[in-house]
Amino acid sequence: MFPPTTTTPCGTSFCWCAPDPDTPRAVRFLPVEAPLVGWVLPAGPERAAWKALCVFYNPLAETRVVSLPEGRWKLLSDGTSSTL
């Protein structure tokens, strides 16, 4: 998003903060079995490659099965490799 030499809205060359105050309200958490976490983040009004991102995080060593929200989804990362 920002080249390494550019200062971000946080005043650093890289930041985890959300410069848009509406971003935290846009996140919709999904009902998954703990300790898994899942959420959907709709794309912003700027040019986005996707309408929304759906993310599942599994901190366990074993595979867990989750249900995707309704709609068409494309796998971007399988935890080992990414098509980004």
Q: Mind listing the pLDDT tens digit for each residue in 15-70?
A: 555 556 666 778 999 999 999 999 998 887 777 788 889 999 999 999 999 999 99
Distance CA 6, CA 14 (A): 9
Distance CA 20, CA 7 (A): 16
Please, which pLDDT band fits residue 2 given cuts at 50, 70 and 90?
Answer: very low
Distance CA 68, CA 65 (A): 10
Distance CA 49, CA 61 (A): 31
pTM here is 0.66
Q: Buried b / exposed e across 52-70, counting CB within 10 Å, b at 16+?
A: eebeeeeeeeeeeeeeeee
pLDDT at 8: 46
Residues 56-72 have pLDDT tens digits of 999 999 999 999 999 99
